[in-house]
Structure 1
Amino acid sequence: MRKNRAMRHLIAVLVLDGLVPFDLGTPTQVFLSARDETMTRLYDVRVCGPGPVTAEAGFTVVPDHGLEMLEAADTVIVPGIHRGGPVTDGTLDPAVREALVAAAARGARIVSICTGASVLAAAGLLDGRPAATHWAWAERIGGLYPRVAWDFDVLFVDDGDVLTSAGVGAGVDLCLHIIRTDHGASVANRTARRCVVPPWRDGGQAQYIERPVPAANGAGTEGTRAWVLDRLADPVSLEEMAGHARMSVRTFTRRFRDETGLSPRQWLLRQRVEHARILLESTDLAVDAVARRSGLGSATALRQHMHATIGVAPSAYRRTFRH
């Protein structure tokens, strides 16, 4: 039976003056691309706002719905803005603040992309919570909202009912993460393929903060990363990785961090945990076998690392995501 439109998860995308056009297109495209195995859409996405708004690029967006859409939405997404009170002096239209606070109070999931986090902060929804935004706005937004536990190094922050992303492309990462949380890896991967984007990116914003892009001439660590991914189940030392890249350990570690934002050991652990998550979602392997195939050695080690990275045990994760 095809899912009734009224039963779909309703997403309201709230647009405000100074809108970043890419950030509006991201959730509408990604969530409308999310389909189940019968190719039935899983989300309804509706654009709303207090009235027509001017985009940063110099055109006007006329939303189909007003702020009342926030009263019904399961998820509210605020795209980035590059001008206006939230990013200049910390002020926010009282009607917008009231609508956001009411949506959060009744249990709607609240999401921001890029500088949309300033809107949530101006509404008081991020006080005392961890949050992300674009690294280039760190000084301005961090200064306006010192009560927020800003993390300017990550691609996104999932704090349960409030999720925030870094700039531009990181909004895609966050949308896919939400789909993965709602419907599992297979749906998120299918969505990523439809959007022609990777389902998961390594590292954080650190790999994008105004440093030269490594040349794709074999002199970087990309080839070694691919080599390691082919043998996650095997012990791989830092010295072996450096040797494969034909670098000293010191040079390899420095270049690796420049390219990924992580140390080789941090990156390898993240890949192993991610591979374990995929195996837990897509196979019936025992937890011990998942740990061995992921290179984590034992079920105890897997439990420790999954608790440290995503806060749940392997068995609980499998119950949530295994379909």
Structure 2
Amino acid sequence: MTVPSPPVRWGILGAARIADGAILPGISKSPACTALAIGARDLDRAQAMATRHGIPRAYGSYEEVLADPEVEAVYIALPNHLHVEWARKAADAGKHVLIEKPAAMRGAELAALEGLDPRLRIYEAFMVRQQPRWIRLREILRSGEYGRPMTFCSLLSFMMTNEADFRQRPEWGGGAHYDLGCYTAMTARYVFDAEPRRVFAAMDRNANGIDMFTSVIMDFGDGRHATFMVSLAQASSQSIQIVCEKAFITLPQAYVPSRAEPNLILIDTSADHANSNLTPIAFPTLDQYEAEVTNFSKAIRGEHVAFFDLSDARANAAVTDAIFASAASGRWADVKGA
């Protein structure tokens, strides 16, 4: 009889909304996890969040969480410009690290995460890749049943109305690309199972200097193109469309799946614009943040689950570097390392 692994004991760095509304509820529902500690620079905020989520230890600093010998893994719920710094400190303290996306604002920053203990798990928190639907999508694309994916298109947007939001501050990693475009660019890489050779980007910035609208073309070579648009200043949208040689594949509610209705992959194999030959594949409702912390905890315990290490974070950052370079120059920018 197999003895189940004990739950991974988590610490949270930062009392952010993403921790309060997504990660901690996911941990509380997962049999693979338990929330042991939370630290914030404001002890009152840490204590309030600890009370809401039944966390036994609240600290008035991030350092105290890292010094807690019973904390095994930490989730970094800090503004983007602090991700690398605290990921390094957490790893140096012997903790596994789930870094809220983007792991870094620039690729060069990730040099600070070299030379870590290879036994530690470090993961950039793209929770969407833990959806069973996304895992099945990659299996379908890799099977070759519908030929090669040739075109990827995605829209991801919402209306940001809070002027005090950290995403309004360029020095903290604000803007549409860091908040949303990192998802769409990562997804194109996920779909093509390859790295883009070059990108072309256009950004429209507000008075604060952040990009409110960003549009990108990614060239993967051999006729394979990805396009996406992200925005913090328009109605909510979230779509993925993939055109293969023999099928048109759509993921409705692609990035934030329904918790009330089945989640779908729609595959249309009709060769005629006037008709459709639609095959839906349905997946049960889920909390993708629960799936994320569960699978990360299983990876820590040595189980085989979908996992993307720091090499993937470096590839994501290389694309981000190229996108900002292209937006600044008005020309195509090569993706370093591609």
Larger % of helix: which?
1
The TM-score by the shorter chain falls in which range? 0.3 to 0.5
Please report the TM-score for the alignment, with normalisation by the length of structure 1.
0.32
Give the TM-score, by structure 2 length: 0.31
| Bigger strand fraction | 2
